[in-house]
Chain A
Amino acid sequence: MESIDKMTRVDIIISFIRYEMKRAIAKRKVLALLAFTILLDTFPYYALSTATNGTGFIPLAAYPYIWVAGVFGLQPLFLNFTAILIAAGAMSEEYEQGTAELLLSKPVRRNDYFAGKFLGGFILFLIILAFNILLSVGSAFTFFGPQASLEILPGLFIVQAFSSLIFYSLAFMLGELVRRSSLAYIFSSAVFFASFIISGYLGLIFSLTGKEFYGTVQIYLPTSPANSLPVQYASPLLPQTVGIVLRFVGADNTIVPTIELSVAILLAYTLVAIGVAAGYFWYADISRRMG
């Protein structure tokens, strides 16, 4: 009997996952993001191959690793921002449209609805992430010939997905807290860009003054582990020649000193954000249509 109940709950969560994916696709946001991914993963390679052809700007030895540019170049801005765009509306748009009320008036656990919404949006993000990686490798192959060290891609996919969880969770939490999609997008983006910009300033001040305080604060900003972890994971697995490609896309330095610390900071932010969102969702009234 208990196993039937568990099966039913899994079935319900899967239904909400499917529903959330369908909902997000219907909003056309995801299609726009996919189109943008295609643009970002093809045009720069084409432009790079045309501009550098025969100039020696990119050493021939780096050609088999040019895929790294697309895979790492998009993480700091585009992928984190994509995570925000998908997550911020997952809960808030349901309140705005008044559709949460109907779904939650059924005998379902709020946790199952929450899990379905969270996972549904994240699976969509994973699809975009996978698409980004495949397209980067495909474009690199097309314009620069056979690519090497591709065996690290599955691991890198997982690491990038994990790194993006931080902004996905923060945006999901803000969507639940403010319950207005426009505000959720603004607040999430503000956190993201503020972290990005402040990190830059702190890095500069630290390098100028050498004061540890600035370096330490910089480490714990949410953008730092999100951008450091993929590089920390991949660097030991790639040859030295890749450094030039990473430098080219501005992803050559890691702010967080160790991979363990990056994971810990990412986990802390993610779990706190999910916990706050789940707690608020559990406790707060399901608001009626807004906006």
Chain B
Amino acid sequence: MSNPSSQGPSVLQFQNTVKDYGSKKIGPVDLNIGKGEIVGFLGPNGSGKTTCMRLMLGLIRPSSGNVRVNGYDPISKHVEALNHVAYSPELPNIQTFLTPTELLTLVLHELGFQGDKQDEIRRVLELVGLIEYRDTKVGKLSKGMVQRLSVAQALIGSPELLILDEPMLGLDPAGSAHFREIFREFVMGGKGTVFMSSHMMNEVESLCTSVLIIHSGRILFRGSSSEVIRKVLDYSVVTVEAQGLQQETINSIKEMPNVSQVTINNQTIEIIIKGHDDIRPALSDLIVKSGAKLYTIKTADNMMERAYIEALKKNGVDR
């Protein structure tokens, strides 16, 4: 069921990689992430997402198998592997006595950055909306601001691969939208790659070019959002918002090919269809001809979430 292949030249590779904690084993994982992708890494808590990320960063050693980042082992060739790789951890722990400027200065030193450090710090702080707080101690920043700072320290320098563990956690909707835009721009031109874990399915569906679902360290599904949905779900859902629908029209919808269920809630109708045939053109024709006012007709927003839950169910995970 897993599909470890990638599209561009490989930047991340797992070959039969296992991390054995004694009480828990993650893997074997086989994975290839190509350049220019935005990969959404999904899985329930404790499924091995963070372990995989920490393996990529050389923070932990695999018990068996290999990990390669940019073709290098991140343990024995840490500097070579992580050159142009940046990481933003989940719930980042940043020393509270540092200011954003001090933290970013330290990071630039770690990166061996040769350009104008102050300019670069200003650039990323403006990018993440923290410029006004550049000299405020981290201990006095809100959770969302610390999250922004964590992403800022990942974006500074000239990274080509961003490894992001729940990057939108604690952000307000405007902040999330802004970060989505930053990540999209980052991969534009095919130079940058983003590998991010998230529990926010909508974020993943709207942002990621590829989705990975992991459970107990095993990759269950891999593909684009629509591919994962098609692979996992044997049905699709269409929602219609219309005014003036008569019972006769609703009966006609129920009689359409493959329609298995129609649920009405005020002006909104949810239609479940067996398989993945697109009935929207025929459906809109039917509604418009009935004389009702059609406002919207679309695939349900939460298909990725349904697919994710179904994928886990199929693998014996109830929640």
Residues of A participating in the B interface, judged by any CB pair closer than 8 Å? 8, 11-12, 14-15, 19, 22-23, 26, 97-99, 101-110, 283, 285-286, 288-289
B318 at the A interface (CB under 8 A): no
Q: Is the CB of A107 within 8 A of B79?
A: yes
Q: Determine how close the nearest CB of chain A comes to the CB of B116; give it in whole angstroms.
A: 16
Question: What CA separation (Å) do A101 and B59 show in the bound complex?
Answer: 7
Mark each residue of chain B from 73 to 108: 1 if its CB lies under 8 Å from any CB of chain A, else 0. 000001111110111010011111110000000110
Q: Cβ of A103: which chain B residues have Cβ within 8 Å of it?
A: 106, 110
Q: Cβ of B60: which chain A residues have Cβ within 8 Å of it?
A: 285-286
Q: Cβ of A289: which chain B residues have Cβ within 8 Å of it?
A: 93
B109 at the A interface (CB under 8 A): yes
Q: Cβ of B112: which chain A residues have Cβ within 8 Å of it?
A: 8, 11-12, 107
Q: Cβ of A26: which chain B residues have Cβ within 8 Å of it?
A: 95-97
Given known contacts A106-B82, A107-B82, A285 and B94 CB-to-CB distance under 8 angstroms: no
B153 at the A interface (CB under 8 A): yes
Q: Cβ of A97: which chain B residues have Cβ within 8 Å of it?
A: 93, 95
Q: Cβ of A101: which chain B residues have Cβ within 8 Å of it?
A: 54, 59, 89, 93
Q: Is the CB of B93 within 8 A of A110?
A: no
Of A26, A99, A102, A286, most B-chain CB atoms within 10 Å: A102
Q: Is the CB of B93 within 8 A of A102?
A: yes
Question: What CA separation (Å) do A160 and B109 show in the bound complex?
Answer: 33
Q: Cβ of B107: which chain A residues have Cβ within 8 Å of it?
A: 106
Return the chain A residue nearest B60 by Cβ: A285
Q: Determine how close the nearest CB of chain A comes to the CB of B93; give it in whole angstroms.
A: 3
Q: Cβ of B57: which chain A residues have Cβ within 8 Å of it?
A: 104-105
Question: What CA separation (Å) do A14 and B61 show in the bound complex?
Answer: 28
Q: Determine how close the nearest CB of chain A comes to the CB of B105; give it in whole angstroms.
A: 8
Enumerate the 3 nearest inter-chain pairs by beta-carbon distance, A residue then B residue, closest first: A98-B93, A26-B97, A15-B109
Of B82, B107, B109, B111, most A-chain CB atoms within 10 Å: B109
- Chain B count of residues within 8 A CB distance of the other chain: 31
Question: What CA separation (Å) do A229 and B54 show in the bound complex?
Answer: 46
**Residue of B61, B79, B150, B153 touching A109 (CB-CB under 8 A):** B79
Question: What CA separation (Å) do A252 and B58 show in the bound complex?
Answer: 52
Q: Cβ of A98: which chain B residues have Cβ within 8 Å of it?
A: 89, 93
Given known contacts A106-B107, A109-B78, A99 and B59 CB-to-CB distance under 8 angstroms: no
30 contacts between A and B (CB under 8 A): A11-B109, A12-B109, A15-B110, A22-B97, A23-B97, A26-B97, A97-B93, A97-B95, A98-B93, A99-B93, A99-B94, A101-B89, A101-B93, A102-B92, A102-B93, A102-B153, A104-B57, A104-B59, A105-B57, A105-B59, A105-B86, A105-B89, A106-B107, A107-B78, A107-B81, A107-B82, A109-B78, A283-B61, A286-B59, A286-B60
Question: What CA separation (Å) do A289 and B81 show in the bound complex?
Answer: 24
Of B79, B86, B87, most A-chain CB atoms within 10 Å: B79
Q: Is the CB of B95 within 8 A of A99?
A: yes
Q: Is the CB of A105 within 8 A of B82?
A: yes
Return the chain B residue nearest A26 by Cβ: B97
Question: What CA separation (Å) do A105 and B97 show in the bound complex?
Answer: 20
Q: Cβ of B92: which chain A residues have Cβ within 8 Å of it?
A: 102
Return the chain A residue nearest B163 by Cβ: A105
Return the chain B residue nearest A14 by Cβ: B109
Known: A12-B110, A106-B82. 12 other contacts (CB 8 A): A11-B112, A98-B93, A99-B94, A99-B95, A102-B87, A104-B59, A105-B89, A106-B110, A107-B80, A107-B81, A285-B54, A286-B59
Q: Determine how close the nearest CB of chain A comes to the CB of B55; give it in whole angstroms.
A: 10
Return the chain A residue nearest B102 by Cβ: A22
Q: Determine how close the nearest CB of chain A comes to the CB of B107; give it in whole angstroms.
A: 7
Q: Cβ of A19: which chain B residues have Cβ within 8 Å of it?
A: 106
Mark each residue of chain B from 113 to 146: 1 if its CB lies under 8 Å from any CB of chain A, else 0. 0000000000000000000000000000000000
Q: Cβ of A107: which chain B residues have Cβ within 8 Å of it?
A: 78-83, 85, 110-112
Q: Determine how close the nearest CB of chain A comes to the CB of B151; give it in whole angstroms.
A: 12
Question: What CA separation (Å) do A288 and B90 show in the bound complex?
Answer: 11
Q: Determine how close the nearest CB of chain B comes to the CB of A277; give it in whole angstroms.
A: 18
Q: Cβ of B58: which chain A residues have Cβ within 8 Å of it?
A: 104
Q: Cβ of B111: which chain A residues have Cβ within 8 Å of it?
A: 106-107
Q: Is the CB of B79 within 8 A of A15?
A: no
Q: Determine how close the nearest CB of chain B comes to the CB of A101; give it in whole angstroms.
A: 6
Q: Cβ of A14: which chain B residues have Cβ within 8 Å of it?
A: 109
Question: What CA separation (Å) do A12 and B93 show in the bound complex?
Answer: 21
Q: Is the CB of B78 within 8 A of A285?
A: no
Q: Cβ of A105: which chain B residues have Cβ within 8 Å of it?
A: 57, 59, 82, 86-87, 89
Return the chain B residue nearest A104 by Cβ: B59
Mark each residue of chain B from 58 to 74: 1 if its CB lies under 8 Å from any CB of chain A, else 0. 11110000000000000
Q: Cβ of B97: which chain A residues have Cβ within 8 Å of it?
A: 22-23, 26
Q: Which of B144-187 contact A (CB under 8 A)?
A: 150, 153
Q: Determine how close the nearest CB of chain B comes to the CB of A106; give it in whole angstroms.
A: 4
Given known contacts A11-B112, A15-B109, A101-B93, A110 and B59 CB-to-CB distance under 8 angstroms: no
Question: What CA separation (Å) do A98 and B83 show in the bound complex?
Answer: 22
Q: Determine how close the nearest CB of chain A comes to the CB of B85; give it in whole angstroms.
A: 7
